[in-house]
Amino acid sequence: MRKWLLGGLALVAVGALLFFGLGPVFIESSMNRVAKTPLPAVSDETRALHESLVIADMHGDTLLWRRNLLSRAGRGQIDLPRLEAGNVALQVFSSVTKTPTGQNYDANSAESDNITPLAIAQLQPARTWSSLLERSLWHATKLERAAADSGGRLRVIRTPTDLDRLLAARAAGAEVTGGMLSIEGLQNLEGDAANLDRLYEAGFRMAGLTHFFDNEVGGSMHGEAKGGLTPLGRDVLRRMEEIGMVVDIAHSSHAAVAEILAMARRPVVSSHGGVQATCNVNRNLTDAEIRGVAATGGVIGIGYWDGAVCSTRPEDIARAMVHVRDLVGIDHVGLGSDFDGAVTTGFDTSQLAVLTQALVNAGFSEADIRKVMGGNVLRVLRAGIQPMR
């Protein structure tokens, strides 16, 4: 009997090790991948240009995963050492709180959730197992702790003054990177508009209203109803603009995007995605939507994965950027990698110079490259995170 009991306990221990120890590593390794495909050579001239840029990326999902942001990992696409190697000045880190089982671009129910078992397997605080709000607050805590432990190499950006100080420090030669918090879908409000202020106090300065399913504030491009904004959604949108949170239309339904653009009093962004003109995927923006974002003074962040640009090649990322530039002007093009967002990309953030080379090869001027790689995003963020007076 004792032998059977010990054997059973051993099986339980092995199962626990696999679930809590190796499970999260295996899951992430299978989802956040860098394709082993040849990359274009980067010339010495382009590498020197890249090292002089002020780079800002509007979307990375690194905080979702159980990784030390300060250590270079053998999986995924972002960590601080790779941000430094890629010369990234500012990385926007998104909080992903819920994803549907069988996630797809066409239609998803809000009834299931893949993140709950991940939160448990990663041994996150128990409060995050049943609360989407607490998951976002935990992501904010993770970024704050990483910054506190970084020896000054990572700063959390909450205000325009924080941003200006970051850029001044980098200009003076300091090796420092900024991190700003964003939200991927306001289902983390849990139906209560007052929770927006709790998220703001925790440091969140950008939010997409929906993710892969319809929620209490509006319809998703990938939801079942794909409706517009709800009354709660309209109230939340107005409150976001007032307190200084940038409104992100990524993943919102066409109906919701139209309403957001009609209501907007401040620049709106599409933090990560593509354009239907170069990659005809339903989640990508139509020309009319691109014009609408530009009319607010906003920026289109072009992603690096197949669903955004129909390949993982830097040349195709540049091709989408060319379309936005030619349609509405260079001031509305930016970076929106979606690194660590369960995507396969052709390079990680340490290899970002290949994208600069692709822009050079596509005929972008140095001035335009400076805008695309960071200047446009920084302009919108600086304005958007300033509370309205």
- Number of structural domains, the chain? 2
Same domain, 15 and 80: no
Residue 31 lies in a domain: no
Cα torsion through 217, 220, 223, 229, rounded to 10: 40
226, 311: one domain: yes
Contact present, 204 and 181 (Cβ < 8 Å): yes
136 and 3 within one domain: no
| pLDDT recorded at residue 10 | 39
| CA neighbor of 184 nearest in space, from 96, 251, 111 | 96
- CA 258, CA 291: separation in Å to the nearest integer? 11
Are 15 and 103 within one domain? no
Q: How high is the pLDDT of residue 9?
A: 44
> Mean per-residue pLDDT for 316-340?
98
The β-bridge partners of 53 are none
Q: What is the pLDDT of residue 23?
A: 77
Q: Are residues 256 and 160 in the same domain?
A: yes
Answer whether residue 39 is part of any domain: no
The verdict on 5 and 76 lying in the same domain is no
Report d(CA 387, CA 389) in Å as an integer. 6
Q: Is 36 exposed, middle or buried (0-12, 13-18, 19+ CB in 10 A)?
A: exposed
Q: Under a CB-based contact definition with an 8 Å cutoff, are residues 60 and 78 in contact?
A: yes
Does residue 20 register a pLDDT over 60? no
What are the DSSP E strand ranges found in the chain?
33-34, 55-60, 88-95, 154-156, 177-184, 204-208, 246-248, 268-273, 299-302, 333-335, 344-345
CATH of the domain at 84: 3.20.20.140
- The residue among 19 and 150 whose pLDDT is bigger is 150
Query: What predicted TM-score, i.e. pTM, was given to this entire model?
Result: 0.94
Calculate mean pLDDT across residues 82-106: 97
For 182, 225, 226, the CA distances from 109, given in Å and listed in that order, are 23, 9, 11
Q: Which of 46, 55, 85 is nearest to 371 (CA)?
A: 55
- Per-residue pLDDT tens over the stretch 145-179: 999 999 999 999 999 999 999 999 999 999 999 99
322 is a domain residue: yes
Whole-angstrom Cα distance, residue 157 to residue 91?
A: 10
Q: Are residue 19 and residue 98 in the same domain, yes or no?
A: no
Using pLDDT thresholds of 50, 70 and 90, give the confidence band for residue 292.
very high
Please indicate, yes or no, whether residues 194 and 154 belong to a single structural domain of this protein.
yes
Strand partners, 34: 345
Q: Residue 368 above 60 pLDDT?
A: yes
| 389 within domain boundaries | no
- Over residues 44-73, the mean pLDDT reads 98
Residue 76 lies in domain: 53-384
22/57 same-domain check: no
**Does 148 reside within a domain?**
yes
Q: Is residue 35 part of a domain?
A: no
Cα dihedral: 371, 77, 95, 261 (round 10): 30
Q: Is residue 245 part of a domain?
A: yes
Let me know whether 97 and 246 are in one domain.
yes
Got the DSSP string for 106-160? Answer: S---SS--SHHHHHHHTT--GGGTT-HHHHHHHHHHHHHHHHHTTTTSEEE--SH
| Whether residue 105 sits in one domain with residue 9 | no
pLDDT at site 24 = 86
Cα→Cα distances 253→220, 237, 283, Å: 5, 15, 8
> On the CB side of 315, how many CA atoms lie within 13 Å of its CA?
5
What rounded mean pLDDT belongs to the chain? Answer: 94
Task: Classify residue 217: in a domain, yes or no.
Answer: yes
65 neighbors 340 (Cβ within 8 angstroms)? yes
Same domain for 9 and 69: no
Dist CA 355 CA 306 (whole Å): 15
Backbone angles phi, psi at 19, to 5 degrees: -70, -50
227 CB-contact burial (10 Å; exposed 0-12 / middle 13-18 / buried 19+): middle
User: What pLDDT is recorded for position 2?
Assistant: 59
Grade residue 19 by pLDDT with cuts at 50, 70 and 90: low
Residue showing tokens 């940038």: 246
